[in-house]
Amino acid sequence: MSLRLGDTAPDFEQASSEGAIRFHDWLGDGWGVLFSHPADFTPVCTTELGLTARLKGEFAKRNAKVIALSVDPVESHAKWIVDINETQHTTVDFPILADADRKVAELYHLIHPNASTTATVRSLFVIDPAKKIRLTITYPASTGRNFDEILRVIDSLQLTDSHSVATPGNWKDGDDVVIVPSLQDADEIARRFPKGFKAIRPYLRVTPQPNK
C-alpha cells in the first residue's frame, strides 16, 4: 500500500553525498521535501537538481530542507554534482541519498512495476515538522517538476495550518483566501478576520490573507 497524506514519513538511515543521514534527525523541527530520481546523469533530473539548488534560499525562508534520492552510489553522485554545477550554473549544496539497496525506495513505495520493476519513479513528498506527509506528487519521466508549485503548496500548508482558511485555485502568497465552512460563529470570524470578508455564498466567504 502506498503512503497516504497524514501518514508519518518513514525514518531511515542511508548514505548520501553529504555523509550518512538519519532522516528524522536531519529534518529536525522544520519542513522537508524529499524527491526521487531513477538514476544519475539523466537530463530532466539534472535540470531539476540545478533548479532546486538555485531555489535553496526560497526553501530556507519557509524553514524547509530539500533532499534528493537516486539509486546510484555516492561516488556517482559526486561526479553527477560536478556536471549539475557546470551545466546549470549553480552549486548543489543539499544531500542526494544513495539508494543502491532500494531501502528508501521500498519504504516510500517508489518502485511501480507498471513503470519499471527496478527503477524508482519520480515522486516528491512534502513533510511537515510533525513528520507527517502533507503532499505527494508522482511525475512521468518526460516531465520536469514545477518547483514554483512546490513552494506555493508549502506556503498554503503553512498558512492554513495557522489560520482557519483554505486557499482557492491558482492561489499565490498574498492573494485572498476563503474562510473554512466549519467556522460559523460571527464573533469568532470578526476576531480572526478583522479586515472583513465578502460572502459570495454562505459557504464561500472570501477574505484578505490574514498574515499579510
pTM strictly above 0.75: yes
Phi, psi values for residue 189, rounded to 5°: -65, -45
Q: Establish whether 123 is a catalytic residue.
A: no
3-state secondary structure (DSSP) of residue 199: strand
State pLDDT tens for residues 87-128.
Answer: 999 999 999 999 999 899 889 988 755 555 445 678 999 999
Query: How does strand 13-14 pair with strand 21-22?
Result: antiparallel
Helices (H) and strands (E) in the chain, counts: 7, 11
In the block, which residue shows the cell 529534518? 27
Going from N- to C-terminal start, the domains of the chain cover: 13-144, 163-207
Tell whether the model's pLDDT for residue 183 goes beyond 70: yes
Grid coordinates of 166 = 483554505
Catalytic annotation, pick one of 45, 67, 71, 151 = 45
Q: Would you state the pLDDT for residue 161?
A: 97
CATH topology of domain 13-144: Glutaredoxin (3.40.30)
What percent of the chain has pLDDT above 70?
Answer: 95
State pLDDT tens for residues 16-65.
Answer: 999 999 999 999 999 999 999 888 999 999 999 999 999 999 999 999 99
Tell whether the model's pLDDT for residue 208 goes beyond 90: yes
